[in-house]
Amino acid sequence: MSFGRTYPLSRRTLLRGMFQGSALAIGLPWLEGMFPAFAGTGAVRQPPLRFGTWFWGCGVTPGRWSPTVDEAGFGLQPESMPLEPIKQHLNFLTGFDAILDGRPNHVHVSGTFSLRSGVAPLKFGVIEGGTFETAIADRLGAGTRFKTLDFTATGNPADTYSYRSAQVRNTPETSARALYDRIFAAGLRKPGEGEFKPDPKTLSRISVLSAVSDQRKALEANLGAEDRRRLDQYFTSVREVEQQLELQTEEPVIPEACQLPERPGEHDANYDLANVHENHKLMAKLLALAMACDQTRNFNVVFSNSASSLHRSGEASSHHLYTHEEFTDPDVGYQIETSKFVVENMKGWAAFVQALADVPEGDGTLLDNCLVFAHSDTSWAKIHAVQGIPMMTAGRAGGRIKTGQVVTANGDPITRVGLTMQQIAGVPIERWGTRSMETDDSVSQILA
Amino acid sequence: MSVIRNSILAGVAVAAIGAGIYFIPGLLSGGNGSKVTGPPPPPQMRRMTESQYRNSVADIFSPEIKVVGRFEPDIRVDGLAAVGASEASISGSGYEQYYAMAGRIAEQVVSDENWSKFMPCDPASPAIYDAACAEQIVSEYGEKLFRREMKDTTLAEWTQISKLAMDKLGNFHEAMGLVLEGMLSSPEFLFIMDTVEQGDDGSLELTGHAKAARISYFLWNTAPDEKLLLAASAGELDTRQGLEAQVDRMLESEHVRTGMNAFFEDFLHLDAFATLEKDKLIYPAFNQRVAEDGREQVLRFLDYHLLDQDRPYTDIFTAKETFVTRPLGMIYEVPVRAVEGWEKVEFTEDDPRGGLLSHIAFSALHAHPGRSSATLRGIAVRELLLCQSVAPAPAAVNFTVVQDTSNPEFKTARARLTQHRTDDACASCHEFIDPIGLAMENFDGVGRLRYTENGAVIDVSGAFDGYEFDNVDGLEQTLAEHPATTSCVVEKMQKYATGRKPQASDIQWINRLEKKFSRSDEKIIPLLREIALSDEFFAVSVPHAPAPDVNQQEAATQTREKKS
């Protein structure tokens, strides 16, 4: 088990060496080799790749969302119509199935985790293996202050689908103010006037954490295998904080596009649709700025939870309840209220993509250097179908992918998509998924 | 994940269900002397819950010390966050928060105004490094925060850390602040980790301090106090007499309320209040204050009946007295004289309210934001109060008929659910769940009393497990008599105390606890005492090579489709 350290030489090694000798005055050689991504003294030359997920619950209505394709391109359907202003940034991935191999369809769970972990869960609530975007975060986020920044627009910190293991999830922020405070209120350093000096307190903190980590062996001695894994996870988390501190001892290298926002006010955060839209908009903007300032390169966003609890003020039913209880209207042939909620989710997605496209970066925008992967927990929520779960990408991943593609798979394993995302992000992986969902076949249609 | 119904009929208790082990009084231990045993569990590592963290900081330092930050959400395993704590770790973003909290706490503790309040010594000037003083501080706070004796090596290590920090910072107070910060972000503080020693016969035993921690977090939900640590150091917890003295002292203290509240918060899933949402247009009487008071109300209610009045546990279902505030008065539609604070209210015998199920901590918590839910309430009674497990709904079910509240044919929830139950796939489960939930239909989605729905009188009669009843009072009477009610609270209390799933070696213990609970007239305090004085409560064995344990994998968070 490593500390997840990816650069060749850490300050901690140096500090520890120092402390074991006599206490020297601080004058550490801040080797550029420690932070390859920041090599060079000016702004980052090539904007880095960012990866993130965007989740919405309760899927789409069959026949009302998937784009139609003809020679001229693709046309949006009533439920995907809100995506019109951003459609040039998107790819649609349709017709991929979660293949359960006889395992139960745990409602609102099996689809998401077949897609994200490559394993259809056998037991309800037991996620077998981490989700793929954590592997990408380990790859892309090693040198930034936050390995990942996650938020949910629903106000409920339990709404997260990013799992390191069954019992370790990334806890999302639930309010714009908390997200702002975490990123911008403290710790974000813009290049100051005069000479940069590392804060001795920060240096001391690093050495204290280092000493805490040194106790690991003694603590492990009496633990069983499972508890050792839990302790390993703990120390991996300690390592992330150490890295944040280490970055604070370095002269900050803030990209030009970095602009500090105003501190947002307090807002109600719950499943009320109007609040969800508002919170999502505020937090999307903060996240975009955090990435422009290179504070993170990974994110997980939840717009609505699995089994979408979104509801409109004054109504006894939520999106989820409508999917199961609303009659299919005999005149139009679909569930009218349910369909309205799908449209609301798509409005959220469009707003998110636009927030990234609004931030200039290099010759283009932040979005150009992002790969955002959006998906839901089901296709047709009325029957909890996990065939053809709707998925999209946004952004060109720094030129690594094309956009404007509509990929129509014919019941292929949904893991093809997770495999492709990891490969685009540079995770060295050739095969992914389990049983019938094991695959080495990436979705080449979207690759540039 | 099976629904076991038929075996419960006529008051005969249930069999093994799902992950949990369901204990039938007398069946396993009685009879032929056949005993189910196994090695005791390995030493444990439990992540502190938010309330344990807050209580520990308040008691080790002072309630004046502010704890500001976001905690990792609890994980429920086997229905309890206490069990989830033994499986949880800390994520990167979670640790970032714990680390920041540690820094803010340490800063307050070593501030100029607080130093002399908390610290046993002080050098003549903060610019001087006083090694003896540093060691004293490390020793005192190390023992309290890590719940173990600071032996030579660790004492030296942490003292060395203070010296290094001093060299960098040149300020003794700041240096000791960093030491405390480090301790507060150490796994030995954030996790309650058992320390063990070799017994005389070579077996593994908990150290006195580890025993103290178990007792203290169980009975008081906080770190061991000085008296308990002294007893631990003196080896008193290794003798029955010494242990009894400490346990009895703690049970007589007011702090036992904090401990019991923590149990009932976990038992009744009161953490759900944090994200409880009701539609403002449909339920204008509901607001944040109502939610906060509703959470406290049920705890006051339980304290009053079980601790102040020393009544049997089952009386909480048939009680007629509870407590209200003005905001709750809006829900209960009773006049509340006190502008601030709490007032006791006693409902008449023919009023459906008063018992546990009539509290909004039950009725509003197990309902949708815009309406009641007989199904969610029925599941909650089965799972929370009777320790039974309900199978999740099948994936492809047409619920359309169920709850179209505007359908003129089906005005009440009962009418709609009855229609739904004509579908065989749904019928078996709903038979198991609905009669219980329908008896609570006199409480709307926010817990307000009502007798009609859409103009039709609500029929709240029903039957389950061989008992028949006319209304929610009858249901609560049934629960008070149901054998699973008492065995469930014992089982959950045992799991809560140990923070793990029961294993083979626990079966006799739980049977014994159930017998004693019954003999002590189902009083709560004697149950706590019995658990805290049990040898099994402290038993540990060497962790063996990891074998695939089915139950270990059963870490079901059991979040069913509650949110909506």
pLDDT in tens, B139-170: 999 999 999 999 888 899 999 999 999 999 99
Whole-number pLDDT of residue B398: 58
The answer to whether residue B229 is domain-embedded is yes
Residues B158 and B225 in one domain: no
Q: How many domains does chain B have?
A: 3
Give the confidence band of B51 by pLDDT, cuts at 50, 70, 90: very high
Contact A34, A7 (CB under 8 A): yes
Residues A102 and A153 in one domain: yes
Q: What is the pLDDT of residues B211-257, one digit of tens each?
A: 999 999 999 999 999 999 999 999 999 999 999 999 999 999 999 99
B550, closest residue in chain A (CA to CA)? A123
Residues A199 and A315 in one domain: no
The answer to whether residue A280 is domain-embedded is yes
Residues B126 and B235 in one domain: no
Residue B167 belongs to domain spanning: 45-193
User: Taking 90 as the threshold, does the pLDDT of residue A29 lie above it?
Assistant: no
Residues B249 and B272 in one domain: no
Contact B402, B416 (CB under 8 A): yes
Radius of gyration of chain A (CA): 23
A244, closest residue in chain B (CA to CA)? B96
Give the confidence band of B365 by pLDDT, cuts at 50, 70, 90: very high
Q: Using a pLDDT cut of 70, give the percent of chain A over it.
A: 88
Residues of B in contact with A165 (CB under 8 A): 89
- CATH number for position A272: 3.40.720.10
Residues A371 and A423 in one domain: yes
Whole-number pLDDT of residue A72: 83
Whole-number pLDDT of residue B407: 62
Q: What is the pLDDT of residues A368-425, one digit of tens each?
A: 999 999 999 999 998 899 999 999 999 999 999 999 999 999 999 999 999 999 999 9
Chain mean pLDDT for chain A: 87
Per the rule left: phi > 0, alpha: psi between -120 and 50, beta: everything else, A186 is: beta
Residues of B in contact with A142 (CB under 8 A): none
Q: Where do we find the tokens 């019928």?
A: B427
Which of B158, B193, B228 terminates a domain? The answer is: B193
Q: Which residues face A146 on adjacent strands?
A: A296
The answer to whether residue A45 is domain-embedded is no
Maximum mean pLDDT: which of A8-22, A311-325, B29-43, B538-552: A311-325
Residues A174 and A283 in one domain: yes
| B102 or B398: which leads in pLDDT | B102
> For residue A310, what is the DSSP state?
-
In this predicted complex, what is the ipTM? 0.86
Which of B193, B216, B243 terminates a domain? The answer is: B193
The answer to whether residue B499 is domain-embedded is no
Residues of A in contact with B543 (CB under 8 A): 222-225, 227
Residues B207 and B278 in one domain: no
The answer to whether residue A23 is domain-embedded is no
The answer to whether residue A294 is domain-embedded is yes
Residues of A in contact with B43 (CB under 8 A): 222-223
H helices present in A182-325, as ranges: 200-214, 216-220, 225-248, 273-292, 319-325
Q: What is the pLDDT of residues B334-362, one digit of tens each?
A: 999 988 999 999 999 999 999 999 999 99
Exposure string over A412-429, b if 16+ CB within 10 A, otherwise e:
bbbbbbbbbbbbbbebee
Q: What is the pLDDT of residues A286-331, one digit of tens each?
A: 999 999 999 999 999 999 999 999 999 999 999 999 998 888 898 9
Residues A206 and A235 in one domain: yes
Residues B347 and B427 in one domain: yes
Contact B82, A223 (CB under 8 A): no
| A218 or B546: which leads in pLDDT | A218
Residues B345 and B419 in one domain: yes
Give the H/E segment covering residue B53: helix B50-60
The answer to whether residue B99 is domain-embedded is yes
Of B421, B417, B435, B451, the residue nearest B378 (C-alpha): B435
Pairing verdict, β A50-55 and A364-365: unpaired
Whole-number pLDDT of residue B410: 72
Residues B215 and B99 in one domain: no
Residues A353 and A224 in one domain: no
Please state the φ and ψ torsions of residue A409, each to the nearest 5 degrees.
Answer: -90, 160
> For residue A114, what is the DSSP state?
H
User: Taking 70 as the threshold, does the pLDDT of residue B552 lie above it?
Assistant: no
Whole-number pLDDT of residue B489: 98
Of A130, A151, A401, the residue nearest A300 (C-alpha): A151
Count of other CB atoms within 10 angstroms of residue B515: 16
Nearest beta carbon to residue B161 from set A157, A208, A320? A208
> For residue B504, what is the DSSP state?
G
Whole-number pLDDT of residue A10: 40
Residue A209 belongs to domain spanning: 195-251
Q: Which residues face B469 on adjacent strands?
A: B462
Q: Using a pLDDT cut of 90, give the percent of chain A over it.
A: 70
A147, closest residue in chain B (CA to CA)? B92
| A250 or A43: which leads in pLDDT | A250
Which of B193, B213, B244 terminates a domain? The answer is: B193
The answer to whether residue B113 is domain-embedded is yes
Residues B231 and B301 in one domain: no
Whole-number pLDDT of residue B405: 54
How many angstroms separate the CA atoms of B272 and B265, rounded?
10
Residues B237 and B307 in one domain: no
Contact B357, B440 (CB under 8 A): yes
- CA distance to partner chain B, nearest, from residue A278 (Å): 17
Residues of B in contact with A57 (CB under 8 A): none
How many angstroms separate the CA atoms of B515 and A48, rounded?
66
Residues A154 and A210 in one domain: no
How many angstroms separate the CA atoms of B368 and B365, rounded?
8
Q: Do B92 and A271 touch (CB under 8 A)?
A: no
Count of other CB atoms within 10 angstroms of residue A236: 22
Count of other CB atoms within 10 angstroms of residue B240: 10
Whole-number pLDDT of residue B323: 97
H helices present in B220-314, as ranges: 226-233, 240-252, 256-267, 288-302
How many angstroms separate the CA atoms of B271 and B266, rounded?
7
The answer to whether residue B181 is domain-embedded is yes
Give the confidence band of A130 by pLDDT, cuts at 50, 70, 90: very high
Q: Using a pLDDT cut of 90, give the percent of chain B over it.
A: 75
Which of A207, A228, A251 terminates a domain? The answer is: A251
Residues A183 and A276 in one domain: yes
Q: Spell out where A356-444 has E strands.
A: 360-361, 364-365, 370-375, 391-394, 406-413
Q: What is the pLDDT of residues A46-102, one digit of tens each?
A: 899 999 999 999 999 999 999 999 888 899 999 999 999 999 999 999 999 999 999
Q: What is the pLDDT of residues B202-224, one digit of tens each?
A: 889 999 999 999 999 999 999 99
Structure tokens at B427: 């019928």
User: Taking 60 as the threshold, does the pLDDT of residue A132 lie above it?
Assistant: yes
Residues B408 and B475 in one domain: yes
Whole-number pLDDT of residue A194: 61
Structure tokens at A408: 């129509």
Q: How many domains does chain A have?
A: 2
Residues A106 and A230 in one domain: no
Q: Does A234 touch chain B (CB under 8 A)?
A: yes
| B115 or B547: which leads in pLDDT | B115
Q: Which of B44, B93, B186 to mutate to test the interface with A (most CBs of A within 10 A)?
A: B93
Nearest beta carbon to residue B91 from set A168, A229, A307? A168
The answer to whether residue A345 is domain-embedded is yes
| A13 or B200: which leads in pLDDT | B200
User: Taking 90 as the threshold, does the pLDDT of residue A115 lie above it?
Assistant: yes
Residues A141 and A287 in one domain: yes
The answer to whether residue B488 is domain-embedded is no
Of B290, B440, B268, B295, the residue nearest B371 (C-alpha): B440
CA B511 to chain centre: 21
The answer to whether residue A28 is domain-embedded is no
Residues A285 and A241 in one domain: no
| A162 or B417: which leads in pLDDT | A162
pTM (2 d.p.): 0.87
Residues A149 and A89 in one domain: yes
